[in-house]
Structure 1
C-alpha cells in the first residue's frame, strides 16, 4: 500500500489538479527521512508497477478527463522515476554496490536492471545472500495477463512492461549523470536532476558543455554555468544550447570572443560508433571556424544534381551537350552531404599519400587482407581491413587496381603471394603516363579530373593482367565500381580507351 505520510508542504492534490510531492517542484533541501521511510518508499514503487502495467490494457475504459489525468500522472511519474534512478545509481556507485555486482560498470548495471533481469543475478550471490527476509529481490508479479484476463500463476511484470530495457546510450547517460552527481563540484546539477527539476537530457547537455564554457570563460564559477544551462526549458534542444553559449560568451566581452576559437579548438573531438544494423555513426565537435570550413567544403559538393543516363554519380561532369535522363536527384540532403564528405576524404587521402612534405604517422591508404580464392571468385568470403572491418570481394577487386590503395593478397594458408611482383603496383611514373593519355576519367562522357580517379587494370592483375600502359585506364571512383560490377572490358590504344558496354537481354531486363 502506498505510504500516506505527507509533509505539511506536500498535501495530496487539491481542486486545481496539480501534482505535488514531498520534495516540491524546486531543488530545495529535502525533509529528513524517518526510520524505515526509504524502505517503505522503495516498496511502494515496487507495488505500484502492476497497476501501471494493468492500466495500459484497460485505458479504453477511461473517460476523457480520466485519460488526461492519467497521462499527466504517467508523464510526471516517468520523469520522476528517471530522476530517482539517477539518485539510486549514484548511491550504488558511491557505496560500491555496482563494483560488487555482476555488471561490468554502472551503465551495464542500469541497462541490465531495466531489461527485467532478475535483481538477484545482478547483485551477485554474495550480496544477495545478505538481503533480509523483508527485502524482496524476486521479479514483480502482476495478477493480469497483457490481454486483461486473470492468470493463476502470476506474470512477470518485467516481461510485460520492460522486456526491451533502456537503450545502451540511455543507460549510459543515466550512469554518467549519476557518477557526476557524486562530485561536490556538481552539487547544483545533482540537486536539479535528482529532484526532477530538469530532465536528464538537459542535465546531460549541461554536464557536457559546462567544461567547455568554463575553458572559454574562466572567471565564471561552475555553479553559475550550471545555472545558465539548467534554466533551459525541457523542450529546448541542441540549438538552444548553442544560442545560450553564444549569449554567455557575448556577456563576457569581445576579448573573450577573440580568444575563444583557440580554446574551443583544444576541446574539439571526433568519434565513431558501430550501429547494430551495420552502419557507423560519426560524432564530432568542432570550433566555429573549423566547422565553417567543413560545412563550406561539403556544401560545395552536396547540391542536388540531375541524374545522367550513363551512371548514378551526382558528381559526374559530362561533355557539353551530353544527354541526361531528366530525372531529379532523389537523394536526401543527408545522403548528399555524406557523399560529399566521402569524396573530400578520398581526394584528401590521395593528396596526403602523394605529398612527401605532409607529416603523417602511417599512411592514408586502406590496407585490405583477402584470401586469393575469394579475390579470384573461387570462394565465398570477405576481405578484412587493419581495423578488422569486413569488406566485400567486389570492393577489394576495385581497390586492387590502383597503387594508391594497396591490398595484401594472401594464399589459402595466409601466406603472401607474389611478394616480389613489384610491377603489380602502378607507380607514379606509370600513373603520370596514364593521366597524360586519358586526361580524365576514361568512361564515356565523364570528365572527372585525375585527382579523383584511380588506375584500373583492364585485364585484372589477379588473372594474369600486366601492369602496363596498354592494360591501364583512368577511372573515377563511381565508374570504377560500375566497371567491376558489370565486368566491362575495354580496348586500349596509344591515344584512347574505348569501353564495351554489355547489352541487356530481354531476360535480364
Structure 2
C-alpha cells in the first residue's frame, strides 16, 4: 500500500472558536470557587461516614469520587493554562509551570506525584497552541485524560512525519477516537503500529527518490 492510498484518518473533531470565551453566567466564577471549596471540605468527611451508607449509596459514591479524581486533573490543566496566559505563573517565584503546579498541590495538603504534575504542565503549555486545539477541547470537555493527552501530543510528533497525507490535528483526532479505557498505553500501541506500517514505506519512498538523482562517475587517476 502506498502512502498516497493510505487508510484515511478519522475526521477531525470540530475545533473550538478562536480565542472566544463566553462565561456561563456573568460573575459566577467566585460562586463556583466557593462551591468547589465546599466540595473539597466534604471529601475529608467521607472516610468517617462511609459506613453509614447502603450498598447502592457506596457504589454511587465511588462513581462520583472516581469522576472527581479524573476530572480534577483535566480542570487543573485548564485552570493552569489560564494562569499562564494571564501571567500569574510568570510573576510567581516558581521556576516553571511544573513547579507552580507542585507548589499549589503542596499548599492544598494533598501530595501529587511529580509525573502527574509534569503531565498537567505539559498539557497546559501545549493546549495554549492553536495546533493542539483538538486536545485542548477534549481535555476541557472531559473525554480525554491528562495522561492520554500528554501521550497523544508526544506521539503525534512521531507519527505525523511518516503520514504526509495527514495533518497534526487529524493524527491527534485519531488518538482521541481510541477507547478511553486504553489510556496512554493505547496511544503508544497505535503509534507503534502506525510506525511499523508506514515508516518503512516512507523510507523506501525516500530511497527511491535518491536513486533517481544519484549518479556514479568513473575517473582514472594518475598513478600515485
Shorter-chain-normalised TM-score: which range? 0.7 to 0.9
Please, which of 49, 58, 77 is the counterpart of residue 58 of structure 1? Answer: 49
1:209-358 correspondence to structure 2 within 5 Å = 209-237=155-183, 239-249=185-195, 255-256=201-202, 258=204
Match of 2:100? 109
Mapped to 2, the partners of 1:238 and 1:183 lie a distance apart of 21
- Cα shift at 1:66: 0.5
1:20-419 correspondence to structure 2 within 5 Å = 32-115=23-106, 117=107, 158-159=108-109, 162=110, 165-237=111-183, 239-249=185-195, 255-256=201-202, 258=204
Match of 1:348? none
- Residues 95 and 259 (structure 1), Cα distance of their counterparts in 2 relative to 1, 3 Å cut: farther
Structure 2 stretches of 5 or more lacking a match? 1-13, 207-224
- Cα shift at 1:104: 1.6
Mapped to 2, the partners of 1:259 and 1:62 lie a distance apart of 64
- Residues 49 and 107 (structure 1), Cα distance of their counterparts in 2 relative to 1, 3 Å cut: same
Determine if contact 1:202/1:232 at 8 Å carries over to the other structure: no
Determine if contact 2:15/2:133 at 8 Å carries over to the other structure: no
- Cα shift at 1:56: 2.1
Mapped to 1, the partners of 2:86 and 2:164 lie a distance apart of 33
Mapped to 2, the partners of 1:255 and 1:53 lie a distance apart of 56
RMSD: 2.6
- Cα shift at 1:62: 1.1
- Residues 210 and 49 (structure 1), Cα distance of their counterparts in 2 relative to 1, 3 Å cut: same
Match of 1:431? none
Mapped to 1, the partners of 2:153 and 2:160 lie a distance apart of 11
Q: Give the structure with the higher percent helix.
A: 2
Mapped to 1, the partners of 2:164 and 2:144 lie a distance apart of 25
Determine if contact 2:162/2:198 at 8 Å carries over to the other structure: no
- Cα shift at 1:40: 1.7
- Cα shift at 1:28: 7.7
- Cα shift at 1:38: 1.9
The secondary structure found in structure 1 opposite 2:101 is: helix
- Residues 77 and 259 (structure 1), Cα distance of their counterparts in 2 relative to 1, 3 Å cut: farther
Mapped to 2, the partners of 1:40 and 1:231 lie a distance apart of 35
Tell me the TM-score normalized by structure 1.
Answer: 0.35
- Cα shift at 1:178: 0.4
- Residues 166 and 182 (structure 1), Cα distance of their counterparts in 2 relative to 1, 3 Å cut: same
Mapped to 2, the partners of 1:259 and 1:253 lie a distance apart of 10
Determine if contact 1:80/1:195 at 8 Å carries over to the other structure: no
Higher RCO (C-alpha 8 Å, min separation 6): 2
- Cα shift at 1:256: 2.3
Q: Give the structure with the higher percent strand.
A: 1
- Cα shift at 1:251: 7.2
Number of aligned positions between the proteins: 190
- Residues 178 and 242 (structure 1), Cα distance of their counterparts in 2 relative to 1, 3 Å cut: closer
